[in-house]
Amino acid sequence: MPETTRELLTSGGWKDLEFGPFRDEVTIHWIRPFEGDQPGVALLKYEAGAGVPRHRHEGLETILVLDGVQSDESGDYGRGSYVVNAPGTEHSVWSDTGCVVLIQWDRPVKILDEK
């Protein structure tokens, strides 16, 4: 990621980016969409109370919380938290307060508990 992009993201510049639909009350800004076997990199913005149902990681997932608090069954992750989810792990994700995260997926996740 170019230095200017990193500085833009860590200083709140993501607030000016355009986000599109991803899941109910969760929007996405693609930095690098999945292409072939290459990982996907994006920003996800969760509205307060939003979540992603239980899912399995088909590849490595890394998350940097840029704003707010993201939670899963293992705990709460505030601004600056770096979360690593190994291939094969399962969890659900939510944000009571709303949050923005920088996320990289090696592979798309498999949703397990779709409502």
Tell me, letter by letter, the H, E, C secondary structure of 49-93.
CEEEEEEECCCCEEEEEEEEEEEECCEEEECCCEEEECCCCEEEE
| Cα–Cα distance, 19 to 6 (Å, whole number) | 18
**What does the pLDDT profile of the chain (115 residues) look like in tens digits?**
455 566 677 778 888 888 999 999 999 999 988 888 889 999 999 999 999 999 999 999 999 999 999 999 999 999 999 999 999 999 999 999 999 999 999 998 899 976 5
